[in-house]
Chain A
Amino acid sequence: MTPLIEVVTRAWKTSRTPQTMIAALLAWSITVAPAAFARGSAGAARVFAVVALLFGLAGPLFLSERRRIGRHIGITGFVVFAALTWGFSLPALHPMRLSPFRAAIGTLAWAIFALSWREVWPTPNAPREGEAQAAPLPPRSSLPFMSVPILTVSILATLALVLIAFRTREPERGLVAQAVTVAVGAALITAASSIATTLGKERVASGRRFTPVVVRALMVLVVVAVGGALYIMFRT
């Protein structure tokens, strides 16, 4: 028996592999297959849908031993081919044809798929790479002065973004605007809560500096902001 077949055989005996495969099959059969095999969908959509299913079912087989490969096949591959399927079956995904019930069930199915690929977090006592060199974080008894205003403003800004997205008139564009708003809102609140709790923390001198990572992030920001602004200015 080749090592690959051995890995697959061993994975099949665990309880997680069948669970993850069923979750992928569920998400595929509710959200991908109906779009791909609907009337008016392109032939490529059907091919991509079948490939997505193969990826979704093959990935969990590598869950126990070759986890990295399994994740690339089962998550990245599956999602990429599912997205390609949707891209080639746009008539079936028109908001007028979307059933709210199927949309709700589909959301649930993708949530189950995401949970099926869950990872057990390392225990707090497990030694982590680079921990020894990290700056010490002294404990505090209260939140920094600006924490609450920063979080409040961020939450209100997120709600405002949702309201702005509702201005969109076309249904397809509105769907994209809402999706963008949800993603942006999640990122905004996550970053704001991180800033709000980290703000004003006393650290040793080396703990907060313009490290190469920070300088790189700022440089990319300046280059993209200035370059994009100039391009927009000269284009119009």
Chain B
Amino acid sequence: MSRAVDVFSVVLLAAAIIAFGFGVYSLSNREDFKALYLLVVGALALRASTELLRPRSGAA
């Protein structure tokens, strides 16, 4: 389980990098809405990737 969570976290980080890349690319191409969407998705993916690895005692 722990290994799968590690891999999932790295996948989310990679997704965030790709989203940020296309977001900045869209911004330079004057596609404001698409840029905003991709940057927000990138930020959310980044947050999820770090939240996954944060130690907590809460049960799920």
Binding site for B on A (CB under 8 A): 133-135, 137, 146, 150, 153-154, 157, 160-161, 164-165, 167-169, 173-174, 176-177, 180-181, 184, 187-188, 191-192, 194-195, 198-200, 202-203, 206-215, 217-218, 220-221, 224-225, 228-229, 232
Cα–Cα distance between A20 and B51 once the two chains are bound (Å)? 35
| Interchain CB contact under 8 A, A164 and B6 | no
Q: Knowing A150-B13, A177-B27, A199-B10, say if A224 contacts B41 (CB, 8 Å).
A: yes
> Can you list 13 residue pairs at the A/B interface with Cβ under 8 Å?
A137-B55, A157-B21, A165-B24, A184-B20, A187-B43, A188-B16, A194-B50, A195-B50, A199-B9, A199-B10, A208-B55, A209-B59, A213-B58
B contact face: mostly helix, strand, loop, or mixed: helix
| Interchain CB contact under 8 A, B41 and A215 | no
Q: Knowing A180-B27, A195-B9, A232-B34, say if A161 contacts B20 (CB, 8 Å).
A: yes
Cα–Cα distance between A168 and B24 once the two chains are bound (Å)? 9
Query: Which residues on the B side are within 8 Å of A167 (C-beta)?
Result: 25, 28
**Closest partner residue, chain A, to B56 (CB atom):** A211
| Interchain CB contact under 8 A, B46 and A188 | yes
Query: Which residues on the B side are within 8 Å of A217 (C-beta)?
Result: 44, 47-48, 51
Cα–Cα distance between A71 and B10 once the two chains are bound (Å)? 36
The 9 closest A-B pairs by CB, nearest first: A168-B28, A228-B37, A135-B55, A217-B48, A221-B44, A198-B53, A133-B57, A207-B55, A167-B28
The smallest beta-carbon distance between A222 and chain B, in angstroms, is: 9
| Residues of B27-47 whose CB lies within 8 A of A | 27-28, 30, 33-34, 37, 39-47
Query: Which residues on the A side are within 8 Å of B28 (C-beta)?
Result: 164-165, 167-169, 173-174, 177
| Interchain CB contact under 8 A, B57 and A176 | no
Q: Knowing A173-B30, A195-B49, A228-B37, say if A208 contacts B1 (CB, 8 Å).
A: yes
Q: Knowing A160-B21, A177-B24, A195-B10, say if A207 contacts B56 (CB, 8 Å).
A: yes
The smallest beta-carbon distance between B39 and chain A, in angstroms, is: 7
Name B41's contact: one of A153, A198, A225 (CB within 8 Å): A225
Q: Knowing A187-B46, A199-B9, A221-B45, say if A206 contacts B24 (CB, 8 Å).
A: no
Cα–Cα distance between A192 and B45 once the two chains are bound (Å)? 12
Cα–Cα distance between A116 and B40 once the two chains are bound (Å)? 31
**Closest partner residue, chain B, to A177 (CB atom):** B27
Cα–Cα distance between A213 and B43 once the two chains are bound (Å)? 16
Q: Knowing A217-B44, A224-B44, say if A134 contacts B30 (CB, 8 Å).
A: no
Query: Which residues on the A side are within 8 Å of B42 (C-beta)?
Result: 184
